[in-house]
Structure 1
Amino acid sequence: METEKWIEKGLELLMEYTPRVLLAILIWIVGLWVFGRVVKYARKIMKKRKYDVGLQGFLATILDWGLKILLIIIIMGTLGIQTMSFAAVIASAGLAIGLALQGSLANFAGGVLIMIFKPFKVGDFIEAQGISGTVKEIGIVNTSLNTFGNQLAIIPNGKLSNENIVNYSAESIRRENIIAGISYDSNIKKAKEILLDIVNSRDTVLREPAPMVIVNELADSSINLSLRYWARNEDFWDCRWYVLEEMKYRFDAEDIEIPYPHQVEIQKEG
């Protein structure tokens, strides 16, 4: 009698849960297919928009796992399992992890923004966080720069994405602005002619826009001339170094005085 009761109970459970199990299996199969197509389509969009390869893989993995967790929750609900508590546990765990990794998550979010909006790329010369250098690597958490002295500078992406960035490689040409101070006794017109002659004699200085010299400031001890010219990025520093050195030679030859601080020593007889 007891055996028949258990058999009857088992048949009832089998009749009740078999359709649910079959439906859950069907949802799992169809869900995997649909979500797989979604991930594939997302990869195609990221590739079309030329997202960074590393970012493509990372975002696709996050999307894939998120959809699978959603699918598991749906299947649990189909089987009659209470999902509210399960979702609450996931939310609580996510909040705890987020608080513990707040700084790292900010850097991660910054890395995603940099890879999406691309304010710079590998090989660009940038200035950020008080550091200037050539971008060596753009990671999810940090960006690496090679400085002038060939040191490796690592900047967290969180700060990098929220602060000012100067990208010197974004445009193909750059304008220089060299301030040349001359004494009040020197001939302004002659000094301007010398500066223009220096830059015009250099093939790597662009003729358009044309170089120019203006009186920038009448300072306390000098007349400050501003020499402005344009050069290609690859020629910029060679032009600057040439102009500075040649300016000193030419000013000396033409008796154009470059003021420098003088120290007056007063001795008082006791």
Structure 2
Amino acid sequence: MWTDEQPRTRWIDPAVFRYRRPDLRLGTRDPKPGRTSTVAGDRIAVTHTVRTSTAQYRLLLNAPEWLGRRGVGEALRDAVAELRAIDLTYGPNRPESLVSRLRRGEISAESYPPLAELVDQCAAMRAATDGWFDAWAVPGGFDPGGLLGGWAVERAAARLRAAGIHDYAVLAGADLVVRGHAAHGGPWRVAMHHPTNRHRGPLVLEMTTGAIGTSGVTGRQGHVVDPHTGEPADELIAATVIGPDLAVADAYATALYAAGPAGLAWFRSDSDYHPLFATRG
């Protein structure tokens, strides 16, 4: 299923896009960790790739020159520190994380406001997806993994905005958040490659704000379970959802991956979230 109703997003004819170099590609191999930076006019362009124990993130900043290299570096370090802190503090596979302690009944969600926010968001998405996204219907108890990566990216993006950077893109695998403009001064050009058919041209968008969440493209087979049966989901091989917030888009994509075509009923024409594709095997 394809849609072109998303605000601040514009589809581009791939034949035209061929002559424009994309700023971002989804569904391709991640680059090696590292950092590059350039100064052009009154902007500082920085690309930084960092890996945590659970994911690899790429941050592209188009920062105002008045921040200076030191200011941009501090903003970048703050955002990366947020990503690392969430990995350490909330990772469900870490025995001493807050999520693991919550599972064991050692703490309550209300003990830590960010943990309460995470639990509340999982509960909201369980309701929004008729139970197809259910962080409690997994082995071992509560596991927010279906939206934790998106939640981390959104919190890192908030750190960038607080530092004065309002033109950026943050990617994690086949997920992304963008805001503002790329270094060339125009909207971020995003090329989304088909999950299995590499001979098919990419789906192309220009975005100035929003998020894209995907389940199935880069994940392990069987990584999403049907919360009603506990068995690995096999209705689709990939599901992608676009909308304002990556944590929500991630959760919708995970639920759509599990539910299959029946999940398309969640997305009304007046919704802020829309499926870009739901691909069968």
TM range (shorter): under 0.3
| TM-score normalised to structure 1 length | 0.24
The higher radius of gyration belongs to 1
Higher helix share: 1
| TM-score normalised to structure 2 length | 0.23
